[in-house]
Amino acid sequence: MFDDANIIVGLEIGTSKVCAVVGEQNADSTLNIVGLGQSPARGMRKGEIVDAALAEECVRNAIVEAEQMADVEIRSVYLGVTGGHVRGFNNRGVHPVVSADREISEDDVQDVIKNAKAINLPAENTVVHAVRQHFLVDGHDGITNPVGMLGARLEVDMHVVHGNTNRLQNSVRLVKGLQLEVEEIVFNGLASSLALLTSEQKELGALIIDIGGGTTDYVVYADGVIKHTGVLAVGGDHVSNDLAYGLKVPLSRAEKLKLEHGAALVDESVRGQTLTIVNELGLPLKTVNVEHLQRIMSLRLEEIFQIIASDLEQAGLTDYLRAGVFLCGGGVRVPQIARLAERLMQMPASLGQTNSISGLKSALDQPEFVTAIGLAKFGSLKNRKREGKSSFANGLRSTLTSFLRRS
Amino acid sequence: MKTNPETPAVELESNPARTIKIIGVGGAGVSLLDTLDGGEFAGAGLVAINTDAPSLATSAALVKIHLETKLLRGLGTGGDPERGRAIAEEQFSTLKTACGGADVVLIVAGLGGGAGSGISPVLARAAKETGALVLAFVTLPFLCEGNRRQQQAQQSLEQLKSVADGVICLPSQKTFKLIDENTSVLDTFRITGGLLVEGVRGVWQLLTRPGLIQIHFDDLCAHVRDRHSESSFAFVEAAGAGRSREVVEKLLAHPLLDEGRALAEADAVLVSLMGGKDLTMAEVNRVMEQIGRHCDHAQIIMGAAVDAELKNRLSVTVIAAKHNAVATAETPAGSTSLGTSGDQAGQMISRGSGARASSRCTQPAPAPEPREQLLARHTNRPRKAASKMRQEQLPLAIISKGRFDKSEPTVHKGEDLDIPTFVRRGVALN
C-alpha cells in the first residue's frame, strides 16, 4: 500500500473518454505512473458536460478502474478542463519601486504580480491559470528574478487563461459529487504540454496541439514560458460527423470507418477504391468511396491546422517555434497527420512522446493519455512546491511558472 | 485607337442584323417615341399604340395602331387600366401582328394611366408569343399624381415583370433630384422622358453596335430578368482628354443611381462602354476598375464597342439590378434562355412553334449553359467581368449538423465550423 500523500491523480473528462491516471511521487520527486483507468465518455459535447448523470457514471467507472489497477484509494484529483469558452491572453502588470535605494525587494515582486493579475474579465469568467512569463526592470526585458536588482519601474508579463465560471464549475461539481476532492483545475492544453515538452524544447519554442474528441487545445511555449493558449471547439467528433454526412452513413459507422480507413492526406493509391459495408449477416449494405472518405477527413483536419496557424500568425509567434509542433490527443491517431501538420504549419511536426515520467509503458505510449498524465505531473509539481514551502516557511512565491520552468 | 489584334473576327460577325421594334404605348409612350425618331434609331421599327386618336395623329411613328372599340366610344380609356386591358385582349391578334417579325421588342410606356398600364402587359405577352425578346422601359408616376395612379402603376409593373424578359423602370419621383425650383412642368416631363430615352438608347447601342467585348443579348436578359423595379440605369457621356474620369464621376453623381448607392447595393451590374475609334483599352480598364470598386457584391457584365460617329466622346450605360426576394417570389421565371446570338434564329423558330400559346408565358427555368459557354469563351481575354462572375447559390439546402445540432455552434470568423468543411468549401464529391 502506498502512502496516500504521495499519490497524485490526474482526471480528464474528455468528450470521447474519461481517463484517470494515478501517479506516485518518489522520494526524489519524480513521478511514477502506477495506474490508469478509462471509460468511454457519454453525456459530453465539445469538451463540456451536457448530461451530468451519464458523465458521472463514466467518471466513476474510470476512477474505480484506476483505483483497482494502482491498488490505492483515490481521494483527490487534479481535474482537466477545456471548452470553447476557455481563452488565454497576455497581460502586463506595472509597479513603481519606491524604496530609497531603488533595490527591488520581494514585496515589490509580489505587488507587481498582484497588479498583473488584476485584469478586467467579464463578470461571469474566472481565471484558471495566471502564469508568469518574464519580468521587466525599467523596460529591460527577459529578467527571471529581479529581487536584489536596482530599478525604478518593475513590470511583469503574465499569461492568463480564463473561462466561464459556471461551465468550469459543472465538471468540478460532478467530481465533488463522487466524494472526490478537486485539488485544482488545470487547462488541458497546459497539462499536455507539461507531459510532452522538455525544458529545452520550451526554451526553443514549441507548439502543442491536442486534438481531442470535442475540442482542439493548443499551447505555445517560447523562451521557456507559455506565450499563447487557445481552444478550438472542433475535434475528432467533427471528423466523424463530416463523414456521416458526406458518406451518408450512420454516425457509429462513420466512427468505425474513420478508425479503419482514415487518413489525414488523400493516398494516391486509394483513388477510385471502394469499400463495401456489410451488416452483421455479411450482406452488403452500401459502398463507400475511400478517396472521398479521406478527402473529407483531410479537409477537416487541414482546416483545424489552418485556423491554429492563422491564430499564431496573428499573435506573431510563428517564428519562435524552433522545436516545431508536437501533436497529441486521440485525434492524432489518424495516419499521415504529422505530415499534414508539417505541410500547413511549415515546421517540423511529430507525435509527442511523454518524456520525463516513468511507469507503465503501455499507458505512456498512447497519445490520448497525454493530458491525463500531464495532469498528474502538474500535481507532482504542485506537491513538490508545497514541500519546498513548508521547509522554507513563506520564503518562496507561489506561482506556477517557476515550477513549469524547473520541469 | 490602338487596335487589338486579338479581337476575334467572330465577335464582329456574331452580331447579325436583328429586327428591333420599339413600341410606344399610351400617351406618354407615344410622345416618347417621337423623341426617339430618326438618327440612330433609323433601323428600328417604331410602332405607336394608343386608344386616343389625337395623340396618334401627331405621332411620327411609321406604324400607328389605334385600338378602338365601341366600348370606349372614342374617348380613350379614361385612366382605367381595366378598360385598357380589355381592349388589348380584344385586339390581341392585332398586337401580335404588330410585333411580328421582330427579334427584340422594346416597349416604352408611362405607367399609371389607363392605356399604358392596361395595354403594356398584354402587349408584352403578345410580343413574347411571337417569339421576340421583350424589354420594357416604363416610368412610374410622380408621387403627387395621387395614390390611385401609383397603385395602378405598381400593379401593371408587377404584371409586366411576370411577362416581359426585362423591365427597366424609372420612378419619376427620382427626377426631382435633377430639377430645381424654376423647372417648368413641361421641362420636368421632358427630362423624365429624356432619361427613359437615354436608357432605350443605351440598350439600343448595346444591341446594334459591333462590340469589341460583346455583351450578348442573353447576357442582357439574364441580367434584367426577374429583377425588381429597383433596376436602375444611367447613361452618361463625356468627351475630351479626361473623359474616362469624367464619365465615372458623372455616373457616381447620377441621381438615378442614388449617387452611386445603387451600385453598392446592386447584385448585378451591366456596363456598356461606347467610344469613338480612339477608345483605348486603358480607358475601358479605368472605368471598369472604378465601377468594380463601387459594387463589390455585384456580378458585373461589361461590354465595349466602337462607334465612329461618337468621335471623341465616351458614353457609358449602366444597368444596376438589385435583387428583391419578394419580387422574385411573386414573379414566375418569365424569361427565356437564349443561346448565343449565333444560333438565336434557330431558337426563335423552335420557341415560336412550341406549344406555348398559353395565356401566361411561363418558361422553364433558364439552362445554365449559355453563361458557361460565354465564360469559357472569354477566359483568355483580359476581362474584369470574368473574375466577378459567380454562380448564385440559393439558400435552400439545409445542411444537417448531425450530432452538433443542439450544441452551441462553433463559429470562427463567421463560419459555422460544425458544418462539414467540404460542404463549406464547396468540394464536390461525385
In this predicted model, what pLDDT tens digit does every residue of B151-208 receive, in sequence order?
888 888 888 877 777 777 777 777 777 777 777 877 887 777 777 777 777 777 777 7
ipTM of the complex: 0.81
Domains of chain A: 87-161 (3.30.1490.110), 205-349 (3.30.420.40)
Through-space distance between the first and last CA atoms of chain B, rounded to whole angstroms: 49
Give residue ranges of B with CB < 8 Å to any A CB: 399-404, 407-408, 410, 412, 417-418, 420-423, 425, 427, 429
Q: Look-up: residue for cell 429624356?
A: B194
Distance CA A323, CA A183 (A): 32
SS3 B194: helix
pLDDT tens, residue by residue, A307-344:
999 999 999 998 899 999 999 999 999 999 999 999 99
Cβ-contact B269, B295 below 8 angstroms: yes
Q: Which CATH architecture has domain B212-326+364-394?
A: 3-Layer(aba) Sandwich (3.40)
Residue in B with minimal Cα distance to A233: B410
Residue B58's Cβ-side half-sphere holds a number of Cα atoms within 13 Å equal to: 12
Within 8 A by CB and 6+ apart from A284, the residues are: A276, A277, A278
Distance CA B380, CA B373 (A): 13
Mean pLDDT value across residues A249-259: 91
What band does A142 get if pLDDT is binned at 50, 70 and 90? confident
Where are the domains positioned within chain B? 17-208, 212-326+364-394, 397-430
Distance CA A17, CA A59 (A): 9
Distance CA B232, CA B234 (A): 7
Q: Which of B408, B410, B421 sits opposite A242 (nearest CB)?
A: B421
SS3 A77: strand
Q: What pLDDT does B111 receive?
A: 84
A:B CB pairs within 8 Å = 65
Distance CA B403, CA A234 (A): 13
Residue B427's Cβ-side half-sphere holds a number of Cα atoms within 13 Å equal to: 17
Instruction: Give chain B positions within 8 Å (CB) of A307.
Output: 412
Distance CA A208, CA A197 (A): 9
Distances (CA, A) of A264 to A215, A236, A270, B161, B421: 17, 12, 13, 52, 14
Instruction: Give chain B positions within 8 Å (CB) of A238.
Output: 404, 417-418, 420
Q: Which has more pLDDT, B97 or A11?
A: A11
Domain B17-208 and domain B212-326+364-394 have a common topology: yes
Mean pLDDT value across residues A134-152: 90
What band does A176 get if pLDDT is binned at 50, 70 and 90? very high
Ranges under pLDDT 70 in chain B: 1-18, 37-43, 69-78, 209-212, 214-231, 259-260, 296, 322-400, 430
Distance CA B106, CA B100 (A): 13
- Paired residues of A221 in beta bridges: A206, A226
Across the interface, whether the CB atoms of B429 and A295 are under 8 A apart is answered yes
Grid coordinates in use for B84?
Answer: 385598357
Q: What is the mean pLDDT of chain A?
A: 88
The answer for B414, left when phi > 0, alpha when psi is -120 to 50, beta otherwise, is left
**Where do the H-state alpha helices sit in B217-280?**
217-224, 243-253, 261-265
Q: What pLDDT does B217 receive?
A: 66
pLDDT tens, residue by residue, A260-272:
999 999 988 888 8
Q: What is the pTM of this model?
A: 0.54
Give residue ranges of A with CB < 8 Å to any B CB: 45-46, 50, 84, 232-234, 237-238, 241-242, 244-246, 251, 289, 292, 295-296, 299-300, 302-303, 307
Q: What pLDDT does B394 receive?
A: 58
Mean pLDDT value across residues A58-86: 93
Q: What pLDDT does B367 receive?
A: 43
Mean pLDDT value across residues A374-401: 67
- For the residues of B298-335, what is the DSSP string, one character each? SEEEEEEEE-GGGTTEEEEEEEEE---HHHHHHS----
Distances (CA, A) of A366 to A23, A88, A107, A302: 16, 27, 45, 23
User: Residue B116: which H helix or E strand, with range?
Assistant: helix B115-129
Q: Which CATH architecture has domain B17-208?
A: 3-Layer(aba) Sandwich (3.40)
